[in-house]
Structure formats: C-alpha cells, structure tokens
Amino acid sequence: MSPTVPFLDLTGMTSAVRDSVFASWSELVADNRFVGGQVIEDFESRWAAYCQTPFAVGVANGTDALELVLRALDIGPGDEVVIPANSFVATAEAVALTGATPRFADVDPDTLLMTADCLDEAITARTTAAIAVHLYGQLADMDALVAVAQRHGIHLIEDAVFGGMQQFASLRKLCARFLKLLECTLAGDGFNTPHACGNAALIDDLQ
C-alpha cells in the first residue's frame, strides 16, 4: 500500500499555537473588540520596542502597510517608486494605490534580490522612493541599497511581508540604524486578515 501524503498539512505548525490563539480569540469575541483596543495597542508598543523604533502601527494586511508608509512619505502622482520586478504583485499595487508609478528593477540572477547596482540602474529623475523586498528567506543587502538611496536622495522602504521571524533580528538592527520606515508582517494579531498574519508599519522618524 502506498502512503498518502496530504497536499497541505499545517497541523504541526498550528497545533503549537492553537490553544493560545483560541483563548485570545474567545476574549476578543467576548469583549466585542474587533478593531483597535488594548490588544492592538499592546502589540504596537511591543513590536516597536522589539524593532527598536519609536512607533509601530497595526494594519490589516501587508498591502495596507506598504501604502500607509508610501503615503506617510507623501509619495503620489508624478512619483516613481523602484521595486524589484519579481516581487509579489502587492508591492506594485501599493505604489499604484497612491497614484505613483511602479518602476521595475532587475534582480540578481543568483539570489533573485534587487541589488544596489540594479537599483542604481532603475533610478530616473522622477524616482522619489524605492522598496527593497526580502525574498525567499534572504535579506536584501540593505547597507548597499541605503548607500545608493542616500546618494540619489530618495526614500528607501523595506517590504518584509515575505520575511520569516529569523529575519526580524537583522531587520530590527537595520531599523535602529538607518531606516525611516519599515513594513513587516508577523504571525499573531491576525484575526482580520485572510491568512492569519498581523501586520505593522514601523515608522521611526515620522514628523
């Protein structure tokens, strides 16, 4: 008899958090707290502290987080935002939602990440921002990307929606050092998202 391998089986992951998630969910339902409230405020302050940044804003999904960050930087019609050509459609969508134009940069053939050279080549006179996307468990080389962004005087945003927890330790160091804005997703706080992820826009120097 041949064994049956289920196409999708997340039980190994979900069983580890099931009891605490269900207990929190029961409390939220009992309190009728579906938007905002103490739970979200706690999440925002704890996440900001973890990332060593003054503010974290809880949002419904990664696309909203990216759009919020872009709007906080006054990105809109007439602006071009460089993004890696192979990112998930939401990165470009968030740019388009602000009225700005996504400009696609090439990526490194080995890592499939946008490098400093790729960013440099894609920047035009209309470019006001770029979004580095951490993909496939790898961090983009932020030191090199920041150097290019600073040389051109453009904003640099990180899309870490595809990132795993192993990346956040590095991300928070980056954030403490030079990030204006960082957008990320993490497990938990996700009752209002389709794939049970919480999201936060992290802002460390919003005036």
Ligand X SMILES: Cc1ncc(COP(=O)(O)O)c(C=O)c1O
Note the residues at the interface with ligand X (CB under 6 A): 61-63, 87-88, 90-91, 133, 159, 161-162
Contact 114, 140 (CB under 8 A): yes
For ligand X, which is the closer residue by CB, 5 or 195?
A: 195
The residue nearest ligand X at its CB is 62
- The CB-of-160 to ligand X minimum distance in angstroms stands at 8
For ligand X, which is the closer residue by CB, 142 or 161?
A: 161
How many Cα atoms are found within 13 Å in the side-chain-facing hemisphere of 173?
Answer: 7
Q: Which of 189, 80, 171, 68 is nearest to 125 (CA)?
A: 80
- Cα–Cα distances (Å) from 108 to 34, 45, 135, 156, 201, in that order, read 42, 36, 12, 19, 27
- The CB-of-52 to ligand X minimum distance in angstroms stands at 23
Contact 85, 91 (CB under 8 A): no
For ligand X, which is the closer residue by CB, 25 or 136?
A: 136
- The CB-of-184 to ligand X minimum distance in angstroms stands at 10
- The CB-of-46 to ligand X minimum distance in angstroms stands at 20
